[in-house]
Amino acid sequence: MKEDHRRSAEEQPLKEVIDKFLNAYSWGGKMKEMDVVSAWPQLMGVAVANRTKEIRIQNKKLFLTIDSSVMREELLLGKQIIIDRINEYAGQQIINDVWFS
């Protein structure tokens, strides 16, 4: 007996199904935020990542706790670069401001 491995009209690729599920429950943005947080060392480099003690995204704001006042000032001057780099990585605007502490 031969099995039929063709897709039916109702079948969809798993990626499409997952994307629809995430969008239906508004989790797509949260997943992107989690991706950015986990990619922080890749996005900003090891030196910045090692000085970053906390990173979170809330209401389109990136909150960073940096343990070096010198690095915090340097990052403050390049705030727009950080915003652009993160949004480019995410493929959409997930942040529009950066707050330091």
Query: Looking at the domain assignment, is residue 5 inside a domain?
Result: no
Contact 40, 52 (CB under 8 A): yes
pLDDT tens string, the chain, 101 residues long: the values are: 566 666 666 788 887 887 777 677 666 677 888 899 999 999 999 999 999 999 999 999 999 999 999 999 999 999 999 999 999 999 989 999 999 99
Plot region of 17 (φ>0 → left; ψ -120 to 50 → alpha; else → beta) = alpha
Helix (H) or strand (E) holding 14: helix 14-24
Query: Looking at the domain assignment, is residue 1 inside a domain?
Result: no
Query: Looking at the domain assignment, is residue 2 inside a domain?
Result: no
Q: Could you tell me the CATH number of the domain that includes residue 72?
A: 3.30.300
Query: Looking at the domain assignment, is residue 86 inside a domain?
Result: yes
Question: What is the extent of the structural domain holding 95?
Answer: 14-100
Phi, psi of 52, deg, nearest 5: -85, 120
Question: How many separate domains does the chain show?
Answer: 1
